[in-house]
Chains A and B, each alone.
Chain A
Amino acid sequence: MAEGIRVRLQQSGPIPLDASLQCTPGQVLALVGPSGSGKTTVLRAIAGLLRAAAGEIHSNSECWFDAQRSINIETRHRRVGYVFQNYALFPHLSALHNVMEAMLDRPAAERESRARDVLARVRLSGLEDRVPAALSGGQQQRVAVARALAREPKVLLLDEPFSAVDRATRQRLYRELAELKRDLAMPVILVTHDLDEALMLADQLCVLHQGRTLQIGEPYAVMTRPDTVEVAQLVGLRNVFRAGVIGHDEARALTIIEWRGHRLEVRLQVAFEPGTQVTWVIPQGHIMLHRRDRPSRGERENPVSGPVIECLPMGENVALSVAVNGLDRPPLFLTVPAHVARRNGIATGVEIGLSLLADGIHLMPSDDTRTPAKPR
C-alpha cells in the first residue's frame, strides 16, 4: 500500500467538493486556488474537522475516513499537525505549554525537555515562557509549527501559514520552512493562494477551483504547461490564444501552428491532429525582446512584431502589452526589466520585435467557451 496520505472527497454541498490528491512522506504539496475554491475545506476534511458526504482518506495503511464503510476517525485520533491561518495558539498558555499540550501521549517526565527541543528547532529558545500575545507574528507562527510537529504527525497541514506576517518576516520563514522540509519525514500539504510561494516551497502543485482538483504536477510544469485554459487562467498565464495546427515535423521535434498569419514553430506535441483548432499559451519568461542595438540569433525563432499599446512601470520591471496583427485583438503581455525598457527606448506607440520561444509554447485542447466553468 502506498505511503503517505491519499485523499478523495466528493460532495455537492454546502461547499462543493470533487477533490482527489495524494502526497508522499517528505513531499510538500501546495494546494492553490482563488479564495473560496475549497482549499481550507480540503484541509479540514483531512483533519477530520469536517465530514465530506463521500470519499476516502487514507494515511499510510490507516483508514481515517471512508464514507461508504461509515468510517470517520475522530480528529484527536488522526495524528495531524495543523497550522491554522491565524495559528490558533492557546492564548493563556506559554509557548512551552502550547507545545507540551500536543505531547500528551508521551510520558509526563520527558514532555518538557522534548518541547524545549522542538522549540529550539524552530529557533525559539529563550522565549519558552512567553504567552502568544507577547510574541511577534513570526514567532507565533513558529510556535504553531512547533506545536504541530510535537504531535509527531502523519501529515502536516499548513493553512496559509505566511499570510499573517509582514513581507520581511515571510521571506525569512520561507527559508526556514525550506530548511525544515529536508528533515521532515511526513507529507506536508500547504494551502496558499500565492503561486510564487508554491513555486518556492512545493514539490507538487495541485490547482483547486470550486472544490475540484484540476491538475496536479511538478509546480513549474503546471504553471507553464497547464492541461486546460481554466488552469492557465488560474495559474496567472495571460498569453492565451487560439490557433490552427498545420502539421508536425518530427525530425526537428516541432509542431507547426498558424496564428494570425504567422507560422509558429512550437515544441512537438503530436496529440493534436493537423487541421484542428487548439488553444496555445506562452509564459512571459519565454517571450524574448529583440534588442535594437544588438540583434541576436534567437531572433529568428518565431519573430512577431507590433506597437506597444500599454507600458506600465511596476517597480524594477515594466509590464508591456503589445498588439500583434491588429489593435482589436487580444495583445501579448510581457514583463521586461526597467533598464532594458529604458535602453531600448520602449514607450507606448513604439514598434517592437519579439520572439516566441518554441520550447515555451504549450498547446491545449481548443476551448470554445472561454468562460470559467460553472459550479457543479
Chain B
Amino acid sequence: MDWSALTLSLKLAAWTVLILLPLGIWAGQALAAHHFRGKAWVEALLALPLVLPPTVLGYYLLVAMGSASPIGQFYESVFGKPLVFSFEGLLLASVIFNIPFAIQPMQRGFEAIAPEVRDAAACCGLSRWRTLWRIELPLAWPGILSAVVLTFAHTLGEFGVVLMVGGSIPGETKTVAIAIYDRVQAFDTAGAGVMSAVLLLISLLAIGAAYFTNARTRIRRHG
C-alpha cells in the first residue's frame, strides 16, 4: 500500500473541490437563472472535458502549461519552478477536467428552483446575497452535494490527464490511480488489489452518503 500516493490523491481531490465549489456555485447559478446569447456554446465548452479523451485533454494542458507557453513562463518567473510535473500544475489540470462534474449538477440544482421563488424573494425585499444564502443554496443543496461528491471521486480516479501533466513523481504528482498502474506493471497484484479496494471503498462511501442525504432532504421537503 502506497500511503503517500493515497494522501496525495486525497489532497488533490480536496483542493479541487475547494476551488471548484465557489466557482461552480457562481457559474451554476448564473447559467440557471440567466439567458443570454451564446449560452449553448458556453455550456458546450464547459461540458467538453466529458467527451474529450483524457490523453487529448492532457496533451493540450501539457502544451499550455509547458515552459514554452506564456502561462508556463509566467508561472516559472513568479515561483521559480516549472508548472508542469508539479502538484500545482496537477491541481490546475484537475480543476479544468472536473469543470463539468462540478458545474452541471449545480446548474441542475439551481434550475430546479421555480423562477417565481426567486421573484418572490425579490418582492420580499431580499438582497441578492440573502437570496443566494437563504433561498437558493438550501434549495440547490442536493445538486451542490452531488457536484462535490462527483468531483471528489472523479479526481481520485483520474488517470490519463494526471499521467500526461504530472508524470509520476512520488509525493508530488504520483496519485493512487497511477500507483495502482505502477504496481500492476511491477506484477505486484496484491498491492494493486489493496489500493483498488481502498479506492472502491472511498468512492462507494462518498456516493452513498450523497444519495442518502439527498433522499432525506426530499422526504423532509415533500412530507
Contacts and interface: CB of A to CB of B under 8 A. Distances in A.
Co-complex (A, B): yes
Interface of A: 44, 47-49, 74-77, 79-82, 84-86, 88-92, 101-102, 104-105, 131, 133-134, 147-148, 151
Point out which of B122, B126, B139 has the most chain A C-beta atoms below 10 A from its C-beta. B122
B216 to A, nearest CB: 13
Contact of A82 (B123, B138, B220): B123
A148 B124 CA distance: 7
Contacts of A92: 138-139, 221
26 contacts: A47-B123, A49-B123, A74-B122, A75-B119, A76-B127, A82-B119, A84-B116, A88-B116, A88-B119, A89-B117, A90-B120, A90-B135, A90-B139, A91-B117, A91-B139, A92-B138, A101-B134, A102-B124, A104-B124, A104-B125, A131-B223, A133-B222, A133-B223, A134-B223, A147-B124, A148-B123
A89 B221 CA distance: 12
Contacts of A151: 123-125
Contacts of A90: 117, 120-121, 134-135, 139
Given A91-B139, A91-B221, A84 B124 contact: no
A78 B139 CA distance: 25
Interface string B201-221: 000000000000000000011
Given A84-B116, A88-B116, A131 B125 contact: no
Nearest to B113: A91
A82 B130 CA distance: 19
Given A76-B126, A102-B125, A131-B221, A84 B120 contact: yes
Given A76-B126, A76-B127, A101-B126, A49 B223 contact: no
A126 B75 CA distance: 63
Given A76-B124, A84-B120, 6 more contacts: A44-B119, A47-B122, A49-B119, A92-B138, A101-B135, A151-B123
A131 B218 CA distance: 13
Contacts of B122: 47-49, 74-76
A358 B119 CA distance: 50
Interface in B99-153: 114, 116-117, 119-127, 130, 134-135, 138-139
Interface string B33-59: 000000000000000000000000000
Contact of A101 (B116, B124, B221): B124
Nearest to A104: B125
Contacts of B220: 131
Nearest to A147: B124
A74 B125 CA distance: 9
A89 B139 CA distance: 12
Contacts of B120: 82, 84, 88-90, 147
A89 B124 CA distance: 11
Contacts of B221: 91-92, 131, 133
A131 B33 CA distance: 25
Contacts of B127: 76
- Residue from A48, A92, A105, A133 with most neighbouring chain B CB atoms (10 Å): A92
B145 to A, nearest CB: 14
Nearest to A74: B122
A61 B87 CA distance: 62
Contacts of B123: 47, 49, 75-76, 80-82, 148, 151
A90 B116 CA distance: 10
A102 B123 CA distance: 8
